[in-house]
Amino acid sequence: MSTGFDIATPARILFGAGTVAQVPELASALGSRPLLVTGAAPARAAAVAAALARAGLVLAGTPLAVAGEPTVALVRDAAAAARTAGCDLVIACGGGSALDAGKAIAALLGNGGDPLDYLEVVGRGRPLERPGLPFIAVPTTAGTGSEVTRNAVLASPEHQVKASLRSPLMLARAAVVDPDLLAGLPPAVIASSGLDALSQLIEPFVSLRANPFTDALAREGIRRSARSLRQAYQQAQHPPAEVGAGVAGAGLREDLALASLFGGLCLANAGLGAVHGFAAPIGGTWPAPHGATCAALLPHAMRVNLRALETRAPQHPARARFAELAALLTDRPDASADQGIAWLDALAAALQIPGLRRYGVTAADVPALVAKAKVASSMKANPLPLTDDELTEIAERSL
């Protein structure tokens, strides 16, 4: 943990109900032919597309719908098509996959070349030399925090891994976070994205690169997630009909949106850990959504990390963080670190989080998975290096 920090954020962050209405004005100041990138359900971005049209902005080609995790090939092809269409601005409205795709496309349009020229781990890792095209991020889920991060995660099926394009030059010109856009999300999406956001608050909080700026955001985000995620999931399963339910639902959406936003700022400026160290090779090898993968891993990674600290580094500052984390999660100042882990177990059970077997991961896959996870970039900020046995335990418990 450090008291020094160097914070990177988008040029503007707009948060609040109804802020999506400001997208056309923001876009008009940055370009005139935007590429619109959406998620698997383009209808969730229909209002944005209509508002852009009313403002006189002509879309550069057909909107790009990103149905799953963005791949190197998808970004390569989309950037070529957008360049041909005269695109001068990229707007992504969707979940983390749509935002990452939009971010990567904007970077390529400003720098040229191929995604593998810049991709970490499996690419050439060249730094971006110029800013990408102006990029506006509009999240419609509350999980990845990609609207405020400086990287885009792409899957490379031929390498069976996910890796990042990463540069401060990829930060959005504006991140527009409107909690109202979360209305109508299915329960499973609320569960997986919500636990992804929670993991992106917890891992930076216990990270080697934790700092006062991210600590403040993590504490607030963890509190909001802990008090609202389970209730939001239950309401999505059984939408209440009573008077006032809309107001209550708005408050839950605001908490989840803030938790996701703060998680993105935390991971971008303090790093992650074992959860995301495993998530990268899993997402690159199996059809496992990122949020669901992180949700399956979170309680087990935290338990193994806590035990490693207790047995091998009892004076490590991260050990005290686990007790504080328990207090934040349980809203009990006297909660023990073990009780915090138990709370995460109970939350995962209440949200019906499936194990990794759901996506095809088996016990026989664990050794190869551990070998890839231990060298993942996210693992560098874990509170302490984990042994192969400890990593194996995380993977096996997450099945």
Tens-place pLDDT, residues 81-116 = 999 999 999 999 999 999 999 999 999 999 999 999
312 confidence band (pLDDT: 50, 70, 90): very high
HSE-up of residue 298 (Cα within 13 Å, Cβ side): 32
Rounded alpha-carbon distances, angstroms, from residue 72 to 22, 80, 106, 123, 276: 31, 12, 14, 10, 20
CATH architecture of 187-398: Up-down Bundle (1.20)
1 confidence band (pLDDT: 50, 70, 90): low
Mean pLDDT of the chain: 92
pLDDT tens profile 179-203: 999 998 999 999 999 999 999 999 9
Sign of dihedral through CA atoms 203, 205, 206, 211?
positive
pLDDT of residue 229: 96
| Rounded Cα gap, residues 40 and 140, in angstroms | 11
pLDDT of residue 242: 53
CATH numeric code, 12-182: 3.40.50.1970
Q: Say if residues 128 and 152 touch (Cβ distance below 8 Å).
A: no
Query: Which residue ranges make up each domain of the chain?
Result: 12-182, 187-398
Give Cβ neighbours of residue 120 (< 8 Å, ≥ 6 apart). Answer: 163, 164, 165, 166, 377
State if pTM tops 0.75: yes
Same fold, 12-182 and 187-398: no
Residue 17 has pLDDT above 70, yes or no: yes
pLDDT of residue 244: 47
243 confidence band (pLDDT: 50, 70, 90): very low
